[in-house]
Amino acid sequence: MPSLRQSKAPVYEALLKYKSMRVVPFDVPGHKQGRGNPELTEFLGEKCLSVDVNSMKPLDNLGHPVSVIKEGEELAAEAFGAHHAFFMVNGTTSAVQAMVMSACKLGEKIIMPRNVHRSAINALIISGAIPVYVNPGVNKELGIPLGMSVADVRKAIKENPDAKAILVNNPTYYGICSDLKTITELAHEHSMLVLVDEAHGTHFYFGENMPISAMAAGADMAAVSMHKTGGSLTQSSFLLIGKRLNVGRVRHMINLTQTTSASYLLLSSLDISRRNLALNGQRIFDKALYLANYGRDEVNKLGGYYAFGKELNNGDSVYDFDCTKLSIHTRDIGLAGIEVYDILRDDYGIQIEFGDIGNILAIISVGDRALALERLVSALAEIKRRYQRDKAGMFDHEYINPVVVMGPQQAFYAQQRSLPIQESKGKVSGEFVMAYPPGIPILAPGEKITEDIIDYIAYSKAKGCFLTGTEDMDIENIKVVEE
């Protein structure tokens, strides 16, 4: 049972009180509670604009909270089973950056899987930390990266005893979970911190029969995208902290990159959503799990598609599976995931989370309904009937093991020149190439450009993946490090 305190939402309550006082604003923002921008007020609503306000004594200050935000953080920590929780309004990107910068200084090592989100590699560029990549296992039939095996983590620790931390994706975009508890215990035995990119794992803290959460596993820090599956506004997240960390130092690191003009719309959405999950989370995620399992069963009855789940579990690189993820393999109907993604949106008015070379992902969470799942399944059945073709000649892998030549920061700031991607084989990349979403780099600064990578980029473009990362907006040219 949640504590009675969890029925409180101090930031939200303070905003309601502020609104009732009918304060005359001579501060920012300049729209003055919406009166200065009637079009925006009509679009977003007077209620929204009236509480889009600046930090002030009654509303506290995110960079140095002493009252209502401080209380909101304490309630969030209690709800998530953490020692401390930070409200994050620059997205989980800033939470991941704060984790890495809190754990590692310039030149210090951090062990991590290569299939991390771009935000983690950006954190290396900012901090100057040196990655020790553990290549995840790969399911060759599905073409997806898995989790980190305990044996591979143990080997990385043995070869790099001076590493300061281990970063774990849990779950991955596809729902794959590593053996987080064992990895955490192993890291702590060697005096290393454990940082968890838990962007897609908010529901682990509140649902039943879920994979273990980062805090329950004893991790030191976890970046949680409350907006992804917890119901808060886009760009709002929590950074959770265990007892081994200095809370004040972590706040200093957060304040290096987080805005000094925190949005109270985002803050109050975190506050309200935390209260909702603390009070009703088990019921909410029981429903989400039921809907996802229903969708998985119905998709698998169609034939041709494969909506995968816990049957992938192998006790190691797939230690557990997040069954709220409706991950569907599409290659057996002769269509790339991105092709199915585009058809669903353009022909059926259905927007899913992402499509890659061989798979699509539908996120099932607090706001989903059975009717919507039925519509998705019906659309997939019709797409199979209308578009199915021979899968011969399709690209058969997703994850390519990188060849790391230099640290990301060194490569990013090195002297560079631009080359056509097709002519860049053997060079060292000075920038990223990635499909977004999910934002996991195909190529990152400091990595050798191989023929496999060039082919993968060309195939992704041909199939319609949205590629980003290079200065060249057409993704025809790439900056390489001068030799």
Dihedral sign for Cα 330, 119, 191, 161, please: positive
Q: How far apart are CA 171 and CA 148, in angstroms?
A: 11
Strand partners, 479: 418
Does residue 17 fall inside a structural domain? no
- Token duo for residue 130: 């040196």
Q: Which of 387, 422, 456 is the last residue of a domain?
A: 387
Strand partners, 329: 306, 359
Confidence (pLDDT) at 459: 85
Q: How far apart are CA 381 and CA 366, in angstroms?
A: 25
DSSP state of 214: T
Domain span at residue 473? 408-481
Mean pLDDT of the chain: 94
Does residue 121 fall inside a structural domain? no
Residue 55: which residues within 8 A CB-CB, separation 6 or more?
61, 62, 261, 262
Same domain, 382 and 473: no
Same domain, 314 and 360: yes
Q: Which of 355, 387, 419 is the last residue of a domain?
A: 387
DSSP state of 220: S
Q: What is the DSSP string of 42-91?
A: HHH-HHHHHT----BGGGB-TTS--SHHHHHHHHHHHHHT-SEEEEESSH
Contact 480, 453 (CB under 8 A): no
Same domain, 383 and 412: no
Does residue 476 fall inside a structural domain? yes
pLDDT tens, position by position, 326-378: 999 999 999 999 999 999 999 999 999 999 889 999 999 988 999 999 999 99
Q: Please tell me the total number of residues recorded for the chain in this structure.
A: 483
Same domain, 336 and 415: no
Q: Which of these, 80, 38, 440, lies nearest to 230 by C-alpha position? A: 80
Confidence (pLDDT) at 397: 66
Confidence (pLDDT) at 398: 65
- Token duo for residue 21: 């006082």
Same domain, 433 and 346: no
Give kind and range of the element (H or E) at residue 139: strand 138-139
Query: Which parts of the chain sit beneath pLDDT 70?
Result: 1, 396-398
Same domain, 297 and 369: yes
Does residue 424 fall inside a structural domain? yes
pLDDT tens, position by position, 398-424: 677 888 999 999 999 999 999 999 999
Does residue 249 fall inside a structural domain? no
Confidence (pLDDT) at 86: 98
Same domain, 352 and 290: yes
Same domain, 299 and 354: yes
User: Cα-Cα-Cα-Cα dihedral of 44, 47, 53, 57, to 10°?
Assistant: -160
Coil, helix or strand at residue 398: coil
- Token duo for residue 272: 């309200």
Does residue 354 fall inside a structural domain? yes
Contact 428, 406 (CB under 8 A): yes
Judged by phi (left if over 0) then psi (alpha if -120 to 50, else beta), residue 426 lies in: left
Instruction: Tally the domains of the chain.
Output: 2
- Token duo for residue 365: 């969470």
Phi, psi of 306 (to 5 degrees): -135, 105
Q: Which of 353, 387, 421 is the last residue of a domain?
A: 387
Does residue 180 fall inside a structural domain? no
Q: What is the CATH number of the domain that holds 442?
A: 3.90.105.10
Residue 151: which residues within 8 A CB-CB, separation 6 or more?
316
Q: How far apart are CA 119 and CA 386, in angstroms?
A: 39
Q: What is the DSSP string of 226-254?
A: HHHHS---TT-EEEEE-TTS-HHHHHHHH
Q: What is the CATH number of the domain that holds 305?
A: 3.90.1150.10
Same domain, 362 and 414: no
Does residue 371 fall inside a structural domain? yes
Same domain, 417 and 451: yes
Show the 3-state SS of 354-392.
Answer: EECCCEEEEECCCCCCHHHHHHHHHHHHHHHHHHCCCCC
Same domain, 302 and 351: yes
Q: How far apart are CA 293 and CA 323, in angstroms?
A: 7
Q: Which of these, 175, 178, 124, lies nearest to 151 by C-alpha position? A: 178
Same domain, 305 and 378: yes
Confidence (pLDDT) at 464: 84
